[in-house]
Amino acid sequence: MVFEESYLEGVYHIKPRILQDDRGFFFESYNDKAFAAQGLFLNFVQDNQSFSRKGVIRGMHFQRYPHAQGKLVRVAHGKALDVVVDLRAGSPTFGKADSFVLDATQNNMVWVPVGFAHGFEALEDCVLMYKCTDFYHKDSEGGVVWNDPKLDLPWHVQQPHLSEKDAALPLFDPDAYYF
Ligand SMILES: Cc1cn([C@H]2C[C@H](O)[C@@H](COP(=O)(O)OP(=O)(O)O[C@H]3O[C@@H](C)C(=O)[C@@H](O)[C@H]3O)O2)c(=O)[nH]c1=O
């Protein structure tokens, strides 16, 4: 596994080693020792999977303390633009975003630590899978709206298919204490 740290400290783009043979391919989608070698000591308690049609955006989501979640995200089918926004108070990159194309043919992943809003756009019909370090807790959910002009996120689609909940998310507040 190759770990590339984003300019957003603590976010990693991870490329697994794909082993091909005449049957197909194999890769390790998570290895505790490989993550520990990067200083990432994780305890995943929930795995999620969603299917999204091309043009869907889900996000930008987070859960507040004490149910804040780190997420290890990948795409098992299709392609997605995965986007993270730093919401850590005092971070030199507070309010800044990074994005990664997650592609089922490459099996690349993104580690999104606690303190970030996370979302994605389905660039193709796609299956997103992610491991979480805390359980879903509805009352702790928070978010910022996908098209906040201050965040200026690099979406490909102009008129995405959104959930009602996501369409009504608040704007990013630069003075708020998120994490
Ligand atoms: C996230 C989640 C949702 N649900 C339920 C709530 C609801 O009825 C249905 C769909 O929920 P949502 O609309 O919130 O699903 P979705 O918009 O896919 O939410 C996800 O978006 C991405 C970007 C993330 O980063 C995730 O952490 C999560 O917030 O599934 C669970 O039961 N467990 C969960 O862990």
Which residues are identified as catalytic?
61, 130
pLDDT value at position 178? 96
Condensed to tens digits (0 to 9), the pLDDT of residues 156-169 reads 999 999 999 999 99
Condensed to tens digits (0 to 9), the pLDDT of residues 133-146 reads 999 999 999 999 99
Q: Measured in angstroms, how far is the CA atom of residue 12 from the centroid of ligand 1?
A: 22
Atom 7 in ligand 1: residue holding the nearest Cα = 138
Ramachandran sector of residue 23 (left: φ over 0; alpha: ψ -120 to 50; beta: rest): alpha
Condensed to tens digits (0 to 9), the pLDDT of residues 49-106 reads 999 999 999 999 999 999 999 999 999 999 999 999 999 999 999 999 999 999 999 9
DSSP 122-143: ESSSEEEEEEESS---GGGEEE
ipTM: 0.98
Does 59 sit in the ligand 1 pocket, CB within 6 Å?
Answer: yes
Q: Across the chain, where does the E strand assignment appear?
A: 2-5, 12-15, 19-21, 24-26, 46-52, 57-63, 71-77, 79-86, 97-103, 109-112, 116-122, 126-132, 141-143
Condensed to tens digits (0 to 9), the pLDDT of residues 111-123 reads 999 999 999 999 9
Does 131 sit in the ligand 1 pocket, CB within 6 Å?
Answer: no
Q: Measured in angstroms, how far is the CA atom of residue 49 from the centroid of ligand 1?
A: 9
Q: Measured in angstroms, how far is the CA atom of residue 59 from the centroid of ligand 1?
A: 9
Fold for 42-167, please state it.
Answer: Jelly Rolls (2.60.120)
Average pLDDT, the chain: 98
pLDDT value at position 141? 98
Question: Quick one: tokens of 87?
Answer: 């919401």
Atom 15 in ligand 1: residue holding the nearest Cα = 58
- Mean pLDDT confidence for 10-23: 97
